[in-house]
């Protein structure tokens, strides 16, 4: 499966985040706390939801350890960052290149997809991971944990260098 390669302009998000790892996965609780309050974000753009992971460094991917922590976000894109509801935060995704993988399936199918992306596609491509946020873009075809659910996985990339 080949992704489309897309440039992403700087993208402003507002949402909620938790510090977590895969042993203590708090994704469901994060979304349960965010969704009832999403309407408080007055300047959102469109209806897409962003499930974002911000890793401390690219070494996170060198040797996967399910106990290594990262920031997980539930967010929406906004026109500006002037008004941020109480107990929510801003996240700015910097401009950069992304490999965009369409994904259809339930949540339990996602790890296989990430394993393919990180273990096969990236090593065999002309790209390497870039240190920017990773995210799933969940649009109108997203159906929470349904085998017919569709979303996109956006993986930050840059051309490989010879260093």
CB of 52 closer than 8 Å to CB of 75: yes
Average pLDDT of the chain? 93
Strands (E), 21-129: 49-54, 70-77, 89-93, 96-104, 127-129
> 37-88: per-residue pLDDT in tens?
999 999 999 899 999 999 999 889 888 788 999 999 999 999 999 999 999 9
Residue 53's nearest CA partner among 4, 95, 103, 13 is 13
> pLDDT band at 163, cuts 50/70/90?
low
CB of 118 closer than 8 Å to CB of 61: yes
> What mean pLDDT is predicted for residues 109-136?
93
Torsion sign over Cα 85, 82, 18, 148: positive
Tokens of 43: 């300047």
- What are the sequence ranges of the domains in the chain? 4-159
pTM of the model: 0.93
Residue 128's nearest CA partner among 161, 160, 85, 91 is 160
- Topology at the third CATH level for domain 4-159: Multidrug-efflux Transporter 1 Regulator Bmrr; Chain A (3.20.80)
């Amino acid at each position: 499966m080949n992704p489309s390669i897309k440039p992403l302009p700087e993208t402003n998000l507002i949402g909620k985040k938790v510090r977590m790892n895969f042993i203590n996965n708090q994704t469901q609780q994060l979304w349960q706390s965010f969704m009832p309050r999403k309407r408080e974000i007055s300047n959102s753009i469109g209806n897409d939801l962003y499930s974002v992971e911000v890793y401390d460094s690219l070494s996170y991917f060198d040797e996967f350890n399910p106990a290594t922590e990262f920031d997980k976000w539930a967010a929406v894109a906004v026109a500006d960052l002037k008004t941020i509801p109480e107990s929510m935060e801003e996240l700015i995704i910097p401009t950069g290149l992304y490999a965009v993988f369409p994904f259809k399936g339930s949540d339990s199918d996602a790890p296989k997809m990430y394993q393919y992306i990180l273990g096969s596609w990236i090593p065999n491509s002309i790209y390497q991971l870039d240190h920017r946020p990773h995210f799933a873009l969940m649009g109108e075809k997203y159906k929470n944990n349904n085998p017919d659910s569709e979303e996109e996985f956006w993986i930050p990339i840059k051309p490989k260098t010879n260093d």
